[in-house]
């Protein structure tokens, strides 16, 4: 099994890094509100000797740590935010720590320290071997609303990198080569005129009617888009009582697809649908554009390099208690019967092997896509929770607050560190990754999906 200074350093620093993950688990903060997570991360980066910038790229909770000099310059993407309403105790039945509170239901407390651990390991090895190169850790806000890294990109982040690594917790061990969708996110606000719904309805102009007619139009639009397009919406505001004609209504839409042109084309047509609905109902329309992100574009050269290294890094070994905990979580999962029938649980309740590349496309989105349109970048995923855990779930919150999550995170950090060290030591890898990237980006320059005039959200405290 591979043993390097970076890997040994990650092992030696596990306790300290786990403390940060635990603090973030105990104090989960939602998108753009990661005030504590950001401050704690900055503190630890300083302790490890990184040059630290807080409030980086005009995002109050963004923190960046740099160390070293010269090329290659390699980035590691940490994330800081938690999910609303996913509070959960470290136990195998659903019970929140605090009802309605946020929780680490996507494991970003782990994600943050995986990138940090990789950066710390690499710094130690570059120092020891007196190698040139710069390591950059990014503590990125607001991945869960898919705009943190996009705002960072708009403000100039990532352009100085030669390559970049991302990691995420998962139920298996793999390197992502399939795509995630990109998206646009906007709230359509309709404003009408209120009236007594029984007494003088002819005087009313219902904002809710406009919102509903927009939904009708959007649902007809579905037939006439490319097959990769997903359109989904929720009502944010839809009136107060049936006997009051609603003068305000709001619907929040996502438009997703596997390319920016498909997203933009569908989104522009959706805007026309909304305008039509406003016209029909004599209401006014205001569009609050929240942001957008690119689909992902994994760098295949880096994916192969990373997978080759992954096979050489020692896999985590689980205790009887951890396996029993995961087994109980599996049995309490809504996916249990399906996962059981698939045979995936035959080898144990936690994934313990290598599943190779994730080649299939994923219709979810991540703002890592924008980074992958700025520099060559790949995402590694390692098992951090029970095999049958649904995405964004209380089960993930539970595993992210205990040793099952911690073991997966350090395995992932070692894989990233070892793969990145190959690039520091052999710059030809950087050149090959860049060659592929340049070819893909030919005639297709990155254009930030969030226009300048959209303000960067501020912490709500």
Question: Which residues sit at the interface with Zn ion, rule CB under 5 A?
Answer: 106
Q: In this structure, are residues 231 and 255 in contact, taking their beta carbons and an 8 Å threshold?
A: yes
Q: With contact defined as beta carbons under 8 Å apart, do 171 and 382 qualify?
A: no
Residue 115 C-beta: closest distance to Zn ion, Å: 13
- Please enumerate in sequence order all residues whose Cβ is within 8 A of that of 133, keeping only pairs 6 or more positions apart, or say none: 68, 69, 70, 71, 72, 73, 74, 126, 424
| Residue closest to Zn ion (Cβ) | 106
Q: Give phi and psi for 34, each to the nearest 5.
A: -80, 50
DSSP 124-136: HHHHHHT--EEEE
Structure tokens, 261: 């042109």
Strands 230-237 and 248-257: antiparallel
Q: Which is nearer to Zn ion, 107 or 192 (CB)?
A: 107
* Other CB atoms within 10 Å distance of the CB of residue 67: 21
Tokens of 89: 């105790």
| Residue-wise DSSP of 353-384 | S---EE-S-EEEE-THHHHHTTS-EEEEEEE-
Q: Let me know: does 380 contact 357? Beta carbons within 8 Å.
A: no
Shortest distance, CB of residue 222 to Zn ion, whole angstroms?
A: 25
What is each CA distance from 264 to 124, 216, 243, 259, 363, in whole angstroms?
A: 44, 20, 39, 9, 17
């Amino acid at each position: 099994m591979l043993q390097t200074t970076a890997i040994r350093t990650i092992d030696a620093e596990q306790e300290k890094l786990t403390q940060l993950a635990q603090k973030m688990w105990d104090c989960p903060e939602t998108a753009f509100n990661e005030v504590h997570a950001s401050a704690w991360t900055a503190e630890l980066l300083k302790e490890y000797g990184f040059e630290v910038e807080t409030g980086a790229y005009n995002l109050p909770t963004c923190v960046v740590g740099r160390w070293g000099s010269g090329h290659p310059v390699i980035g590691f993407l940490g994330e800081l935010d938690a999910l609303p309403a996913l509070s959960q105790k470290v136990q195998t039945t659903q019970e929140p720590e605090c009802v309605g509170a946020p929780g680490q239901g996507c494991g970003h407390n782990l994600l943050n320290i995986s990138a940090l651990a990789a950066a710390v390991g690499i710094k130690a090895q570059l120092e020891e071997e007196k190698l040139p190169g710069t390591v950059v850790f990014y503590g990125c806000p607001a991945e869960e609303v898919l705009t943190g890294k996009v705002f960072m990109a708009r403000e100039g982040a990532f352009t100085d990198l030669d390559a970049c690594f991302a990691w995420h917790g998962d139920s298996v061990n793999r390197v992502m080569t399939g795509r995630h969708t990109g998206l646009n996110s906007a709230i359509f606000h309709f404003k009408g005129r209120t009236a007594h719904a029984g007494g003088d309805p002819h005087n009313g102009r219902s904002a809710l009617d406009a919102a509903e007619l927009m939904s009708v139009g959007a649902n007809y639009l579905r037939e006439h888009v490319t097959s990769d397009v997903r359109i989904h919406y929720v009502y944010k505001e839809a009136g107060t009582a049936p006997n009051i004609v609603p003068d305000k209504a709001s619907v929040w839409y996502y438009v997703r697809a596997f390319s920016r042109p498909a997203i933009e084309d569908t989104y522009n047509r959706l805007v026309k649908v909304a305008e039509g609905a406003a016209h029909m109902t004599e209401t006014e329309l205001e569009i609050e554009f929240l942001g957008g992100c690119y689909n992902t574009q994994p760098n295949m050269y880096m994916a192969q390099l990373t997978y080759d290294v992954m096979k050489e890094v020692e896999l985590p070994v689980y205790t009887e208690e951890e396996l029993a905990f995961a087994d109980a979580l599996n049995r309490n999962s809504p996916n249990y019967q399906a996962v059981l029938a698939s045979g995936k649980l035959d080898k144990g309740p936690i994934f313990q092997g290598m599943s190779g590349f994730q080649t299939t496309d994923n219709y979810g989105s991540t703002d890592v896509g924008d980074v992958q349109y700025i520099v060559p970048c790949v995402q590694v995923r390692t098992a951090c929770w029970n095999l049958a855990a649904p995405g964004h779930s209380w089960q993930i919150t539970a595993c992210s607050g205990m040793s099952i999550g911690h073991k997966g995170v350090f395995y992932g950090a070692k894989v990233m560190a070892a793969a990145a060290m190959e690039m520091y030591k052999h710059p030809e890898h950087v050149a090959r990754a860049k060659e592929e990237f340049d070819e893909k980006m030919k005639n297709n320059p990155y254009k930030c999906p969030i226009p300048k005039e959209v303000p960067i959200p501020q912490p709500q405290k």
